[in-house]
Amino acid sequence: MSSPDRPLQNPNQQAQVFERVRQAHQMEATEDYVELIDDLIRTQGEARLVEVAERLGISQPSAGKTIARLQRDGYVTSEPYRSIFLTDKGKQLADSSRARHDIVFKFLLAIGVSEETAKLDSEGLEHHVSDETLGVFKRIIKQQVKK
């Protein structure tokens, strides 16, 4: 029942690890919103607040507040009572976020995770995968396809 040794690492190193997670979380809402807005524009022609809120499972005022922040930070534009548009910056973030999300999703499928679980897990995992790890994921997806 004894647990394996786990020597403490350098305090400053460890602090940098947690700092990086906090940074990832700071971008998370932004990435999920622009990705969703882009999906809605592609498939429905426009992104309405009511639909963004419904798909996130939150209230319209909550979604509206975050949209205001996204506008403040230059990811979207929106006028009162109108639908939401992505800026170039927002579109670029949406594209890269979706690409990363898709790789994480396909990777999970490739190693044998079910569709349903892959969909659930990838929504959270996507924001914490480094470029290096993403590269490894891509390689494994390719190998799987070959077989």
For the segment 60-119, give every residue that binds DNA (CB under 7 A): 60-62, 64-67, 69, 78, 80-81, 83
How far is 17 from 36, CA to CA, in rounded Å?
Answer: 29
- Please enumerate in sequence order all residues whose Cβ is within 8 A of that of 86, keeping only pairs 6 or more positions apart, or say none: 34, 37, 38, 41, 75, 76, 94
We find the least distance from the C-beta atom of residue 16 to a copy of itself, in angstroms, to be 7
Give the long-range contacts of residues 132-136, CB within 8 A, separation 24 or more. 134/100, 134/103, 134/104
Q: 11-40 mask for DNA (x: CB under 7 A)?
A: -----------x---x-xx-----------
> Is 38 one of the binding residues for Mn ion (CB under 5 A)?
no
Indicate whether 139 belongs to the interface with DNA (CB under 7 A): no
List contacts with Mn ion (CB under 5 A). 32, 35, 101, 123
